Amino acid sequence: MLNTSGHETGNAVNQVVECVPNFSEGRNPDIVQAVVDVVHSVPGVALLDETMDPDHHRAVVTFAGRPYAVAEVAFQMARVASELIDLRSHHGEHPRVGATDVMPFVPIRGISMQDCVQLARMVGQRIGNELKIPVFLYEQAFSRPERKNLEWIRKGGVKGLAARMETDPAWAPDFGPKHLHQTAGATVVGARWSLIAFNVNLQSGDLSIATDIAKVVRQSNGGLPFVKAIGVELKSLGLVQVSMNLTNHEETPLHVVFAAVQREAEARGVDVAGTEIIGLVPEPALIATAQQALRLDRFDDRQVLESRLDSAESREAFGRLSVSQLSKEKPAPPAKTGAVDGMAAEIQGLTGGSVGALSSAFAASLGVMVANRNQSRAVETRLSEIRTRLHELVKIDREVYAQVLQANKLPLNHPEHALQLSSSLLAAAETPLEIVKLSCEMIPLLRGLLASAKPQVYPDLNIAIRLGDAVIEGCLGMVEENMKGQPNQQLIAAIRDRFSAAEQMLVDAKSLCYTPPFDSWPQKMLNILKLR
Closest by Cα among 248, 219, 143 to 188? 143
- Please tell me whether residues 257 and 372 are part of one structural domain: no
pLDDT at 98: 95
Note the pLDDT tens digit of each residue in 373-405. 888 888 888 899 899 989 888 888 888 788 778
Our count of domains for the chain comes to: 3
Give the lowest-confidence range in 145-159, 438-452, 488-502.
488-502
Which has the higher per-residue pLDDT, 61 or 340? 61
Phi, psi of 202 (to 5 degrees): -110, 145
Q: What is the pTM of this model?
A: 0.56
Identify the DSSP state of 395.
H
For residue 274, being part of any structural domain is answered with: yes
The last residue of one of the domains, among 147, 163, 191, is 191
Give the lowest-confidence range in 46-50, 115-119, 305-309, 438-442.
305-309
- Round to whole Å and give the CA distance between 228 and 226: 7
- Please tell me whether residues 134 and 262 are part of one structural domain: no
Positions marked catalytic: 94
pLDDT at 307: 66
- Please tell me whether residues 145 and 207 are part of one structural domain: no
- Round to whole Å and give the CA distance between 18 and 76: 16
**Mean pLDDT, all residues of the chain:** 80
- Please tell me whether residues 382 and 402 are part of one structural domain: yes
The last residue of one of the domains, among 161, 191, 221, is 191
Share of the chain above pLDDT 70, in %: 77
- Please tell me whether residues 283 and 168 are part of one structural domain: no
For residue 6, being part of any structural domain is answered with: no
Note the pLDDT tens digit of each residue in 157-176. 999 999 999 999 999 999 99
- Please tell me whether residues 246 and 286 are part of one structural domain: yes
The domain that contains 246 carries what CATH number? 3.30.70.670
Residues near 291 by beta carbon (within 8 Å), at least 6 away in sequence? 299
For residue 60, being part of any structural domain is answered with: yes
pLDDT at 176: 94
- Please tell me whether residues 273 and 216 are part of one structural domain: yes
Phi, psi of 273 (to 5 degrees): -85, -25
The last residue of one of the domains, among 166, 191, 216, is 191
Burial 44-56 (b: 16+ CB within 10 A, else e): bbebbebbbbebb
The domain that contains 438 carries what CATH number? 1.20.120.680
Q: Do you know the residue count of the chain?
A: 532
For residue 311, being part of any structural domain is answered with: no
pLDDT at 4: 34
Task: Check whether 515 has a pLDDT greater than 50.
Answer: no
What domain range is 483 assigned to?
343-529
